[in-house]
Amino acid sequence: MADDAALEARVTALAAELRCLVCQNQTIADSNAGLAQDLRHQIRDMLQKGRSEREVIDYMTARYGEFVLYRPPFSARTALLWAGPGLMLAGGLGALLVVLRRRQRLAADAFEPDANDDDGNTTQPG
């Protein structure tokens, strides 16, 4: 229970990235389980001795595997995970642009005639 607020903040920030293995999906920052408390002590210990955040993470993964990290490290097997959302976004926007542009080029008779209850006015209902 260090009184040093900055140290505590670093401990909490690290603890919030690590998974409590005896719980069902909680960080070791939030869990009151015995192992979670022990690991928080361990983190505080290591930071007080001057270790870096990177070294603490490596220490935990060496013992518990990558499963203990809530932020999966970028590697060949997680490439799809990290790149996926960006690819979906780019792909979706690209597809939309292509479809809209393609429709611009189509002749008017591919579409329905414009209904006469709409005049493109901003006062139209949404």
What is the nearest approach in angstroms of another protein to the Cβ of residue 121? 8
Of 4, 35, 55, 58, which lies in the binding site for another protein, with binding defined by CB under 8 A?
Answer: 35
Please give the Cα distance from 72 to 52 (Å, whole number).
19
Please give the Cα distance from 29 to 10 (Å, whole number).
11
> With binding defined as CB under 8 A, does residue 78 bind another protein?
yes
Radius of gyration of the chain (CA): 26
> With binding defined as CB under 8 A, does residue 105 bind another protein?
no
Please give the Cα distance from 9 to 80 (Å, whole number).
32
How many residues lie near another protein (CB under 8 A)?
A: 67
Rounded to 5 degrees, φ, ψ at 105 are: -85, -15
Please give the Cα distance from 89 to 93 (Å, whole number).
6
Give contact residues for another protein (rule: CB under 8 A): 1, 5, 8, 12, 16-17, 19, 21-27, 30, 32, 34-35, 38-39, 42, 61-72, 77-78, 80-82, 84-85, 88-89, 92-93, 95-97, 100-101, 103-104, 106, 108, 110-115, 118, 120-126
